[in-house]
Structure 1
Amino acid sequence: MTAFEAAQWRLRFDASPSPRPTPKPPPHNAILTTLHSIAHRRKPQHRRPAPERAGKQQKPHPVRNTYRDFRMLWKIEGSETHILGSIHFANLDPHRLPTTVAEAFRISHHIVFEADLSAPADSASLLLPNGTTLKDCVSDATYAKAFSHWLRLGLPLDNLSRFTPGAAALILHLNHAAKKGYVVERGLDRVLWDGAVREAKRRGALETVDAQTGALTSSPMAEQASMLEYFVNGDLDFSGLSSRVRAWMHGNTVPFDTALTERRRRWPVMFEKLIDQRNMNWVPAITKMAGDKERRLIVVGALHTVGPVGLPRILSKHGLRLRPRAWHLPASLR
C-alpha cells in the first residue's frame, strides 16, 4: 500500500507489541509463508515486441509513459545524482529489475534511502495511550470488520485494541499482502540496500526513523479511523498495491498519481504530512548532494515523485534542472 509508504519499514509484520513502553520485535513466521507464495506465483505475461527486420541491429526497448510528463527516474543536470521512484514492498525479482534501474545502481557509489533500513524499529509511537483502545476510536462496525481480518490473518487477537487506527490499517494491509507474496524483502528499497551492502557501496538516509513513523501517528485520529474503515470494507488495498507494482515495472506513474490524488481527497492532513512536508524537508539535503560530483542514487517512494508537490517539481522550483531518463525492461520481460 503506497499510501503508508512513510511508515511501513518500521511496521513490517509487527502485530505483537510487548507491555508498554517498549514493544517486542515483529514475528517472522509471516515472511516464511510469503516465500512459499513467491516461489509458486505465476510469471507475468508481457507482449513481445515485433521482430526486427533482417540485417538490422536490435534496438533498446524503452517503455514510454504517454499519459503524463513524468518518469520513475531522473538525473539532476550538472551533477551525477539520480532520483528514483520506488516500491517499498512488492514481489520483485532482484535479477529482473528494469534495465535503467540496474544501470543507475551500478554506476552509483552512494545509495541514499528515505531512512536507514538497518536502524532498530520502535513501534511505541504506533500504540494508543494508556486507557484508550481501538474500540474508542472507530465505529463498532469498523472494529468488527478489523477484528475479522485480524483473526483471518492469524495475528495475536489481544493486540489489535492497542494500535492506533492508522497502524492497525497498515498491519492488516502488510500481512494480507504478504500472504499474496508481496513483502518488504522483495521491495525495491530492500533489494537495493542489500545490493549496496554486498558491493560495499556507501549508504545514506534523508531522514530518521522517528520522522517516518511520526508522519503517520501525528495524523488526525478521525482520518486514521476513516483510513481503517476504508481498508476493512474492501480488500485491504491489495488490488491497488498489485496494480501499482505492475505499473512501476513499466515506468507508468499514472496509477501513483491517481492514488495520491484520491488519498489527498479522503485524508488531506495525513497526506500533507506523509508526502508534502517530508518532500520539503528533503530539499536542502538533495540540493547539497547535487552540488558535488559523486555518483549517487536517491531512492524514495514513488508517491513522493508525482503531482504538483512531487520532488521533481519542487526541486525544479529550487533551481535544479531534472532530466527524465527513458525506462527500459530486461529482455525477459518485454
Structure 2
Amino acid sequence: MRRLFGRWRWLATLPWALLGPPAVADTAPAACPPVAAAPSSASQAQAERTARDRGLLWQVTRDGRSSWLYGTIHIGRYEWTVPGPQVRAALQASDLLALELDPLDPRTAQALRSGMAPNPRHTLGDELARRLANQMQLACLPEALMTQVAPEMIAMTLMATMAQHDGLDAAHGIDVALARRARAAGLPVVGLESPEKQLALLISPTQAQQRASLDRMLLDLEDGKVRPMMLRIARTWETGDERALVDYADWCDCANTPEERAQLKALLNDRNPGLADGIDALHAEGRRVFAAVGSLHLVGPDGIPAQLARRGYSVRRIEFAR
C-alpha cells in the first residue's frame, strides 16, 4: 500500500528532505551516488542571469487582490532553484510566502527530527533488516542511521540517492530555495500544515504496516524502478506538463489496488481542502499570498485552484515560454 511513497512524495511532501540529506558513511566507495556540489559564485550569477520559468503557476484573484499558487518538487538541479521572470515577479508582488511546512523554521525541524525517530516497539525481522542494510550500503548511508530514523524514512532517503545519479538532489528542492529567497527579501514565511500531520501520513502506526510498507519500497529499489520514475517525475515538473500530472495515477504504478487508491486520496485530495482553507484565510486578511505546494495538489477537479474557484476566486494558469 505504501509503495506509492517512493514515487508520489517527490511532488508532495518529503519532511526528511527539508532537513537535508544524512551524512555519507566514512568508508564510502567510489560508486556512491554523487552529491551535489555547492555552486560557485560565478555559477550562481550565471543562473540568476539566465533563469527561466519551470513548474506550474496560477494567479488567483478575489476582492481586487491577486495571490499565486506555485507547484513545487522536492528534488532538482541547482538551476531549477532560481525562479524565472514570471515566478520571480509573482513572488515580488506578494506579501508572504506560504509553504506546506517552513523548512527553515527551527521548531519545524526539531518536530520532524523527533517524529522521525524509530518506534522501539516495532521490529523489522532479520530478512527486512538485511535487505535495508544492503540498500544502505549500496547508497553509502551510515549504518548508524538505522537506530536514528524510522525505516520508512530511510527507504525514502535511499530513493532520493537514486535520483542523484541523474543530477537530481534534495539539496536543490524548490521549497527550501523559495524559503531562503523569501527570507533574504524580508518576506514572511508561514506553514500551511503541521509537521505532526505530515509525519502521520509517512510513519506506519503498526509493525505489520511498517513491514509491508518497507517491503514494497525495497522491492522498487531492488527492481531498479525508482531511478527512471524519479527522472520522469522531474521532467514532468520541469516542463509544467499539467495533463501528465492530472493522469499521474495512470502511470505511477501506485494506484493498482483499492488500498493504494485510498492512500493516494488521503495523501492528495483529502489534504487539498485544508491547504485551500489556509491560503484563503491568508488572502482574506488582505495579504497577497505566494503559496508554493507540491505540484499534484494543484491539478485536477479537486486541486487547490479548483477549490478556490468554487470559493469565488478568478483563477488563471500562467503559461511559461518553453
Query: What's the TM-score once normalised by structure 1's chain length?
Result: 0.72
Shift of 1:292: 4.5
Offset from partner CA, 1:89-124 (integer Å, 9 cap, x none): 211415754433222223223111111112324334
Residue correspondence of structure 1 range 258-269 to structure 2 within 5 A: 258-261=247-250, 262=252, 263-265=254-256, 267-269=260-262
Shift of 1:73: 1.3
Q: Rg bigger for which structure?
A: 1
1:277 corresponds to which of 270, 275, 278: 270
Shift of 1:146: 3.4
Counterpart Cα distance in 2 of 1:242 and 1:131: 36
CA gap of 1:211–1:285, structure 2 versus 1, over 3 A, is same
Counterpart Cα distance in 1 of 2:88 and 2:304: 21
Counterpart Cα distance in 2 of 1:210 and 1:247: 29
Q: Secondary structure at the match of 2:220?
A: helix
Shift of 1:132: 2.6
Counterpart Cα distance in 1 of 2:156 and 2:315: 33
Shift of 1:83: 0.5
User: Is the 8 Å Cα contact of residues 168 and 228 (structure 1) preserved in structure 2?
Assistant: no
Offset from partner CA, 1:20-46 (integer Å, 9 cap, x none): xxxxxx43789x95224989xxxxxxx
Following superposition, which runs of at least 4 residues in structure 1 exceed 4 angstroms of deviation? Answer: 11-15, 142-145, 161-165
Shift of 1:268: 2.9
Aligned pair 1:108/2:108, yes or no?
Answer: no
Shift of 1:236: 5.7
Counterpart Cα distance in 2 of 1:301 and 1:143: 31
Shift of 1:3: 1.5
Shift of 1:196: 0.8
* Residue of structure 2 in register with 1:191 after alignment: 177
* Residue of structure 1 in register with 2:48 after alignment: none
User: Is the 8 Å Cα contact of residues 81 and 290 (structure 1) preserved in structure 2?
Assistant: yes
CA gap of 1:101–1:234, structure 2 versus 1, over 3 A, is farther
* Residue of structure 2 in register with 1:76 after alignment: 60
User: Is the 8 Å Cα contact of residues 12 and 171 (structure 1) preserved in structure 2?
Assistant: no
CA gap of 1:302–1:95, structure 2 versus 1, over 3 A, is closer
Aligned residue pairs, count: 287
- Aligned-residue RMSD, C-alpha: 3.5
Structure 2: gaps (5+ residues): 1-5, 41-51
* Residue of structure 1 in register with 2:235 after alignment: 246
1:231 corresponds to which of 220, 224, 229: 220
Aligned pair 1:177/2:177, yes or no?
Answer: no
CA gap of 1:203–1:249, structure 2 versus 1, over 3 A, is same
Shift of 1:299: 0.1
Shift of 1:269: 3.8
Structure 1: gaps (5+ residues): 16-25, 40-60, 64-70, 330-334
Query: What's the TM-score once normalised by structure 2's chain length?
Result: 0.74
User: Is the 8 Å Cα contact of residues 87 and 187 (structure 1) preserved in structure 2?
Assistant: yes
Aligned pair 1:85/2:71, yes or no?
Answer: yes
Counterpart Cα distance in 1 of 2:317 and 2:178: 20
Amino acid at match of 1:134: L
CA gap of 1:176–1:271, structure 2 versus 1, over 3 A, is same
Counterpart Cα distance in 2 of 1:319 and 1:281: 17
User: Is the 8 Å Cα contact of residues 60 and 314 (structure 2) preserved in structure 1?
Assistant: yes
Residue correspondence of structure 1 range 1-334 to structure 2 within 5 A: 3-5=8-10, 6-11=12-17, 26-27=22-23, 33-36=34-37, 72-78=56-62, 79-93=65-79, 97-118=83-104, 119-121=108-110, 122-135=112-125, 140=127, 144-160=130-146, 164-218=150-204, 220-221=209-210, 224-225=213-214, 227-235=216-224, 237-261=226-250, 262=252, 263-265=254-256, 267-329=260-322
Shift of 1:307: 3.3
Offset from partner CA, 1:158-189 (integer Å, 9 cap, x none): 54477555323212112332354322331211
Shift of 1:193: 1.2
Shift of 1:302: 0.6
Shift of 1:85: 0.8
Counterpart Cα distance in 2 of 1:231 and 1:307: 27
Shift of 1:235: 3.1
Q: Secondary structure at the match of 1:35?
A: coil
Identity %: 18
Counterpart Cα distance in 2 of 1:114 and 1:12: 11
User: Is the 8 Å Cα contact of residues 105 and 297 (structure 1) preserved in structure 2?
Assistant: yes
Shift of 1:252: 1.0
Offset from partner CA, 1:301-324 (integer Å, 9 cap, x none): 112112343222233334433221
Q: Secondary structure at the match of 2:292?
A: strand
Counterpart Cα distance in 1 of 2:147 and 2:263: 21
CA gap of 1:222–1:134, structure 2 versus 1, over 3 A, is closer
